[in-house]
Every structure is written in structure tokens, then in C-alpha cells.
Structure 1
Amino acid sequence: MTVRLVPRLLLALAATTMFLFAGPLAAERGPAPDARAALDRFVEGLETFTAEFTQTVRDETGYVLQESDGSMQLGMPNRLRWEVTEPFPQTIVSDGEDLWTYDPDLAQATVRPLGDAFDATPIAAITQPERLDEHFRMDVLPVRDASALRLLLIPRNEQADFTHLELDLTPDGDLTRMAFRDIFGQETEIHFERSERNAPVDESVFTFDPPSGVDIYRP
């Protein structure tokens, strides 16, 4: 069974990704030093990040609702292209000021200021990475792969739309997995492959020009 990802989930993925890549992270408190240090290494000196991904969405019983593939390119600060290619093409583009979501099958695009888009996501209003400890309680989860480190982030805000966020990193600071569960029990898991740090990225990928005939919504 496949279903379309709702715009809210797509925005969640975009905001989560941009937040994680936003810059150095403070460490007033937190999990095991190795795990936190790996997260710091991931964002330190980051200018661009590109990767292919596989994405699985499950309901509260673990039933797979959708499996999809795509690619992403990120540029500092807050520029992103997140593109699902299969089974339903969907695109998110941020130029640092506006965030576009585009569904070519429906010939619809939505654009909103980036700040408003952040407010509508599970990472609600977190735009300053130095405030990570203020917004999350952090811990380390065990994993079978001894070379992996798994961080658990639990939002301090009881009104958040998600219950937890997991990040898998290598000791060298490579992000390999991201997963979160929403308040309805739906889980989204993303595995990153063929990733590159600071590879040249054409600035044009961070702009979106709606094709002719596309309906544009500005909520």
C-alpha cells in the first residue's frame, strides 16, 4: 500500500533537516560525550550536504504505509531541496526565505515564509541550534552496530506534534539515519546513502519556478 505524504510531514522533514545542519551545537547538558561530539562534528564547518535517501512511513501498528526514494541537497544557511522521486513525485525547496512544497501529479504548489513553515512542523520554532538543550532532552540509545551512535531527542514542549526524534551518526560525524514518531503514532524513518559534505551545489537547485498551469496556494 502506498499513500501520499501529507504536506505537514514533508514540512517536518524539511525543517528537521535544516535545523540539524544549522550550525554548531551547544552542550550545556546532554548524552554520552561520544554521541554529542559526533553530532558536533557533523555540523562543524558544514557548507553543503547532499545525499540520496530511502524513506519508510509506518502506522501505529508498524504497518508500512509508504516506501519512497529520493535525493536532497542542502546549502548553508536554510537552503534546501528535498525531492521524492518514487512512488509519488513531491518536492520541497527553500531559498532561505520562502519554503515551497510542490506536487506535480496534482499540479499544486504551496509557498509560505520559512519562519511560518517552521512553526507548523514537529521542530516547532527551533531555529537556533545553540538552544538545542533548551528544546530537547537528550539521551543515547543502544544499537547493534558498534560503529553507530544513536541519539534520542525528546521535545520539552508538551504541545509538540512529535514524541521523539532519533539520529544515527558514525563516530566521525556522518549522519546515516533520521527517524521520528508523531503524536498519532505514525513513524517516519529515513536512511541516507551516498552522502557528500561540502560538494559543489548549483545555487539554482534552491530556487523554485512554478511550471505553467500550476495552482499556487499561500496559506
Structure 2
Amino acid sequence: MTRGGPQCGSLSLYRLLAAALVALLATPAAAGDDARLALERFMSGLEGFSAEFTQTVSDETGFTLQESDGVMHLGLPDRLYWEVREPFPQVVVSDGEELWTYDPDLSQATVRPLGDALDATPIAAISRPEELDTHFHSQVLPVEDASALRLRLIPRNEHADFTRLELDLTPDGDLARMRFEDLFGQVTDVRFESSERNPDLDADTFRLDVPEGTDVYRP
């Protein structure tokens, strides 16, 4: 979520996270029993997930374009609170019906019906996991850090807004890192910390009340 592509980055992250959490359950056992077990541990009984994050965006040469940090709350299904605090604030919120993207610096917010915003994207997999093999190739990758298990998703759809997603899980099933590359070669690397499974999240967590005077666009 950076300028020059923050909205795309933030929306993509939610779509990819939701896809990864469910899609890889369909990974063939031959791809790696340990990776499957780690993912299944993470998914088992999962109703929500909260974490602090740091995010680095790099260009195709590896040059760092921006570093940021923030907080994420995820509620299954279809609810999200994603806030970048520094250096450029931005908030993305889904209440299960609408998807809001709010830029405080510009006093602008964009609102889309959830169905329109997420139709034919990986986030739809939350409620339709049986379709995931149709949309992704998946594989397990070697990792230098023995404490992590890395899984990769490659979209089958040539019109997808990302080319690959890599997800790191710990052997006990904790989500540690996500890395994805967009169509322009930009790489977003998100590292999660202080994570909590099934936190006690109020329904208001997934509701966005923008300040008076904010320009609200409904494409």
C-alpha cells in the first residue's frame, strides 16, 4: 500500500491472503505433507486473525520504493480492516457488503459493492474453495530458514493483477510472511508479527466512518 499503487497493493493483499489461507488446502499431499499440516493447523477453527505488519515495496530491480507499517484485522468471511499508519495513512475496510478505501491525506474514499469489487478474484474463494484448483497452480518451495514453510500460488488467469504469491508459515501453523509480485514487477513483502488467532473483534472494527467533508466516490 504505497503511493503510485497503494490501493492496488492493499486490495491485492486481502485478496491474496484470503486465497492463500483456503486455496492451499487443496494442494496435493505429494507437494509436502509438512506444509499441508502447517496450513491446516492455521485454518483449523479460524474465524479471525489480527496482526501488526511491516511492508516493503520494491521495483523490478530490487530498489526499495517504500517501507510502511500498520495493523490488520481479518474476519471470515469477507471482513477486513487494513490500516497503514506510516508514512502515508490509508485504510481499507470490508464489512461483508461494501469495500471502502479511504485516503486521509486526500480526504477521499472509494466505495464498491463487495460482489463487484471481489467478483472473479481470489477472495471469492473464501466461500467457494472448491473452485481454487481451477484458478491456481500451487507448489511448496525450499526455504533457507528451517523454521518456515513456503507455499507459492500462481494464478491460471492471465488477467489476474498479480503474477505470484509466496506465503510463509511456521511448522506450528502461524502466518509469518507474505510476498507477491504484480504485473509491473513490483514486489510487496509483508511480515506479520504480534499475531493473534480468533481475537475478540467488535463488529464496529469492520465499519468505516469517514470524517465530514470527505469526497466519497461510488464507481
Q: Would the TM-score normalized by the shorter structure come out above 0.5?
A: yes
More helix per residue: 2
In the aligned structure 2, how far is the partner of 1:198 from the partner of 1:154? Answer: 28
Relative distance call for 1:114 and 1:29 in structure 2 (3 A) is: farther
Report the alpha carbon displacement of residue 75 of structure 1 after superposing the two structures with TM. 1.4
Q: Is the 8 A contact 1:47 1:76 kept in 2?
A: yes
In the aligned structure 2, how far is the partner of 1:27 from the partner of 1:61? Answer: 31
Relative distance call for 1:154 and 1:22 in structure 2 (3 A) is: closer
Report the alpha carbon displacement of residue 19 of structure 1 after superposing the two structures with TM. 3.4
RMSD: 2.1
In the aligned structure 1, how far is the partner of 2:196 from the partner of 2:92? Answer: 20
In the aligned structure 2, how far is the partner of 1:70 from the partner of 1:204? Answer: 18
Structure 2 unmatched runs, 5+: none
Aligned residue-pair number: 217
Letter in 2 for 1:211: P
Structure 1, residues 54-101: CA drift from partner, whole Å, max 9, x if none? 001011111111100000111121111000000000001111111100
**Matched residue, 2:204:** 204
In the aligned structure 2, how far is the partner of 1:206 from the partner of 1:68? Answer: 22
**Matched residue, 1:100:** 100
Report the alpha carbon displacement of residue 43 of structure 1 after superposing the two structures with TM. 1.5
TM-score when normalising by structure 1: 0.91
**Matched residue, 1:58:** 58
**Matched residue, 2:36:** 36
In the aligned structure 1, how far is the partner of 2:202 from the partner of 2:69? Answer: 22
Q: Is the 8 A contact 1:11 1:117 kept in 2?
A: no
Letter in 2 for 1:44: S
In the aligned structure 2, how far is the partner of 1:105 from the partner of 1:30? Answer: 49
1:117 matched to 2:117? The reply is yes
Q: SS in structure 2 opposite 1:61?
A: coil
In the aligned structure 2, how far is the partner of 1:171 from the partner of 1:216? Answer: 44
In the aligned structure 2, how far is the partner of 1:46 from the partner of 1:56? Answer: 27
In the aligned structure 2, how far is the partner of 1:154 from the partner of 1:101? Answer: 26
1:9 matched to 2:9? The reply is yes
Q: Is the 8 A contact 1:60 1:184 kept in 2?
A: yes
Structure 1, residues 120-140: CA drift from partner, whole Å, max 9, x if none? 86x375442333222111111
Q: Is the 8 A contact 2:112 2:218 kept in 1?
A: yes
Q: SS in structure 2 opposite 1:25?
A: helix
In the aligned structure 2, how far is the partner of 1:125 from the partner of 1:24? Answer: 14
Relative distance call for 1:125 and 1:197 in structure 2 (3 A) is: closer
Letter in 2 for 1:207: R
In the aligned structure 2, how far is the partner of 1:108 from the partner of 1:84? Answer: 15
**Matched residue, 2:215:** 215
1:144 matched to 2:144? The reply is yes
In the aligned structure 1, how far is the partner of 2:120 from the partner of 2:101? Answer: 13
Report the alpha carbon displacement of residue 4 of structure 1 after superposing the two structures with TM. 5.1
Q: SS in structure 2 opposite 1:139?
A: strand
Q: Is the 8 A contact 1:92 1:99 kept in 2?
A: yes
Letter in 2 for 1:101: T
Report the alpha carbon displacement of residue 30 of structure 1 after superposing the two structures with TM. 6.4
14-23 vs 77-86, which moves further: 14-23
Q: SS in structure 2 opposite 1:164?
A: strand
17-26 vs 170-179, which moves further: 17-26
TM-score when normalising by structure 2: 0.91
